A and B are shown apart, each in its own frame.
Chain A
Amino acid sequence: MNAFAMSILKTVGLYLLVAIIIVVSVFPFYYAIITSLKTGTALFEVDYWITSFNFQNYWDVLQSGEFPRNILNSIFISAVTVALSLLLAVTASFALARVRFRGRALLLMTILAVSMFPQIAVLAGLFELIRYIGLYNTPWALILSYTIFTLPFTVWVLTTFMRDLPIEIEEAAIVDGATPWQIISKVFMPLMWPALVTTGLLAFIGAWNEFLFALTFTVSNSERTVPVAIGLLSGASAYETPWGIIMAASVIVTIPLIILVLIFQRKIVAGLTAGGVKG
Chain B
Amino acid sequence: MKSAYSELEAQRIRAAMWFLLPMIAALMLVAAYPLLRSIYFSFTDTSLSNLYGGQWVGFENYFSWKTLPSGRTIFKGTLVDPAWWNAVWNTIRFAVVSVFFETVFGLMVALVLNANFYGRGIVRAAILIPWAIPTIVSAKLWAWMLNDQFGIINDILLNLGIISQKIAWTANPDTSMFAVLIVDIWKTTPFMALLCLAGLQMVPRDMYEAAKIDGINPIKVFFKVTLPLIRPALMVAIIFRTLDALRIFDLVYVLTPNSSSTKTMSVISRENLIEFDKFAYGSAQSTLLFLMIALFVILYIWLGKLNLSGDKQ
Asked if chains A and B are in direct contact (CB within 8 A), the reply is yes
Q: A residues within 8 Å of B by Cβ?
A: 11, 14-15, 17-18, 21-22, 24-26, 28-29, 31-32, 35, 43-46, 48, 88-89, 91-92, 94-97, 99-101, 104-105, 107-109, 111-114, 116-126, 128-129, 131, 144-145, 147-148, 151-152, 155, 159, 163, 174, 179-181, 184, 205, 208-209, 211-212, 216, 226-228, 230-231, 243, 246-247, 250, 253-254, 257-258, 260-262, 265, 268-269, 272-273, 276-277, 279
Chain B nearest Cβ from A211, distance in angstroms = 4
CA distance A111 to B19 in the complex (A): 15
Choose one: B19, B34, B254; the contact of A94 (CB below 8 Å). B19
Interface size on B, residues (CB 8 A): 100
Selected interface stretch from B64-72, B93-101, B111-119: B111-119
Q: Provide 10 A-B residue pairs closer than 8 Å at the C-beta atoms, listed in order of the A residue.
A: A22-B126, A88-B26, A92-B22, A109-B306, A184-B19, A227-B136, A246-B144, A253-B137, A272-B195, A277-B233
Flag if B270 contacts A120 (CB, 8 Å). Answer: yes
B8 at the interface (CB under 8 A from A): yes
Flag if A123 contacts B286 (CB, 8 Å). Answer: yes
B181 at the interface (CB under 8 A from A): no
Of chain B, the residue at the smallest CB distance from A147 is B30
Chain A nearest Cβ from B311, distance in angstroms = 9
Chain B nearest Cβ from A208, distance in angstroms = 7
B250 at the interface (CB under 8 A from A): yes
B283-294 interface code vs A (CB 8 A; 1 in, 0 out) = 100110110011
CA distance A215 to B246 in the complex (A): 20
Of chain B, the residue at the smallest CB distance from A252 is B137
Chain B nearest Cβ from A115, distance in angstroms = 9
CA distance A31 to B150 in the complex (A): 13
Provide the residues of chain B in CB contact with A99, threshold 8 Å. 12-13, 15-16
Choose one: A17, A25, A211, A243; the contact of B130 (CB below 8 Å). A25
Flag if B16 contacts A180 (CB, 8 Å). Answer: yes
B24-43 interface code vs A (CB 8 A; 1 in, 0 out) = 10110111011111100100
Chain A nearest Cβ from B50, distance in angstroms = 12
Instruction: Give chain A's interface secondary structure class.
Output: helix
Flag if B126 contacts A15 (CB, 8 Å). Answer: no
CA distance A15 to B301 in the complex (A): 40
Provide the residues of chain B in CB contact with A131, threshold 8 Å. 51
Provide the residues of chain B in CB contact with A180, threshold 8 Å. 11-12, 15-16, 19
CA distance A24 to B19 in the complex (A): 46
CA distance A179 to B12 in the complex (A): 8
Flag if B266 contacts A120 (CB, 8 Å). Answer: yes
Flag if A31 contacts B34 (CB, 8 Å). Answer: no
CA distance A104 to B12 in the complex (A): 14
Flag if A116 contacts B115 (CB, 8 Å). Answer: no
B272-300 interface code vs A (CB 8 A; 1 in, 0 out) = 01100001001100110110011001000
Flag if A91 contacts B22 (CB, 8 Å). Answer: yes
CA distance A124 to B282 in the complex (A): 9
B138 at the interface (CB under 8 A from A): yes
